A = this chain, B = another copy of it.
Amino acid sequence: MAIQMREHKKDSVSEMIEWLARFGRTANGGVTRLLFSKEWREAQDALKDKMESLQLQTYFDSAGNLFGKLLGTEPGGKTILTGSHIDTVLDGGKYDGAYGIIASLLATTRLFQKYGFPKKTIEVISLSEEEGSRFPLTFWGSRNISGAYNLENVKDLEDDDGIPFLEAMKESGFEPKEYQPSIRTDIERFVEIHIEQGMILEKNQNTIGVVSHIVGQRRYTINVVGESNHAGTTPMLYRKDAVSTTSKLITYLTEKAKEFDPQLVATVGKLNVMPNVSNVVAGEVEFSLDIRHHQEDVLNRYCEDIFTEFERLSTDLEVRISQWMDVKPIAMDEEMNQMIRQIATEKDISYQDMVSGAGHDAQVFASICPTTLIFVPSQNGISHSPKEFTRIEDLETGVKLLTEALYKLAY
């Protein structure tokens, strides 16, 4: 054990990132680690071994979440939970999720090596699933802990190869028949550190983002139905052109988003034209609309504005609006955020408050305990890609900040 300890002392954050990225590495340097896959299981098992070699007590819950526990000395104390998710998107990056687990593990280990056992129990968590990349649901890991999900929510789900969720779960060693609810009521606080996946910190030359809110998300599928016609023989005024009407709607919603609120984003990322032939006036367009902001009121007012205008702009074409996602905005704990800002100031780390435009496990934990979410920069804002990159210095600054935060919370 003493020898192992010496070996592990040498682990730097960048070495740990590379080590974990070996599980599921893709041909072009990315990582694919889908829930309950072989690579996913290997990564969790390797992390378990690593945690044990660092003298943490380990266990899995029924949802596939891995815990590494450093017992607190105070009797009956609650747990300070810290970590992130182990799963990735298809051909994703090395940092998304993984960094949060590694930073939590390093911070906890450093505290233990320096100060011994904490007053309050610290648990490092490697959450089983957040991305929704294999099965059509997200936050399987954290939502089992919060109690929002259990086997009922997945019994009919299949992946793209037709493999049922429950079969994949069993195959991976988590027997559904032995499933026990993973609900936790003993978590006092949750701390997550994650890459920003945007370019705000980089543009502002800040190393740390203190997340005040995670945005609400509304997603829609919109169909504009006109009339398909001959591109040569149909005068402009006789047309019911789905492409040109759609263009007006997109131009309006984009310009309106820019002026409505600096933190509102509205995206049309997917667009399909029918019949999609160069010399035929399009009869129908279907497009996606993704709207995000951290205030429900702003989302309400923006949506009301654009959907009213859609009616006006579409004249004699039909516009069908169908909503398929409505995630409410959620605030992080201001007291914890104030602690993070204070640590950053003390340690001369540049930071800023910001809103998270992406979803994170922290939003699930925020519903059951005070939670904070900390960002480190993403080069060029690139994420979900093998090109995802964060400088070693920034990764290490994040670990230092997290170490200090856990010290304040648990020692």
By a beta-carbon cutoff of 8 Å, the part of chain A in contact with chain B is: 196-200, 203, 215, 217, 219, 229-238, 241, 243-244, 246-248, 250-251, 254, 257-258, 262-273, 275-282, 288, 290, 292, 356-359, 381, 383-384
Contact = CB atoms under 8 A, between A and B. Distances in A.
B254 A250 contact: no
A61 B290 CA distance: 60
Contact of A243 (B269, B280, B282): B269
Contacts of A219: 278-279
12 contacts: A219-B279, A230-B384, A231-B269, A237-B258, A237-B262, A243-B269, A244-B268, A247-B247, A267-B278, A269-B273, A269-B275, A271-B271
Given A198-B230, A230-B381, A276-B270, A236 B250 contact: no
Contacts of A270: 273, 276-278
Report how many copies the assembly holds.
2
Contacts of A244: 250-251, 254, 268
Given A219-B278, A247-B247, A290-B279, A198 B234 contact: yes
A198 B266 CA distance: 38
A58 B357 CA distance: 74
Contacts of A277: 269-270
A246 B248 CA distance: 11
A275 B383 CA distance: 15
B280 A269 contact: yes
Contacts of A248: 247, 251
B265 A231 contact: yes
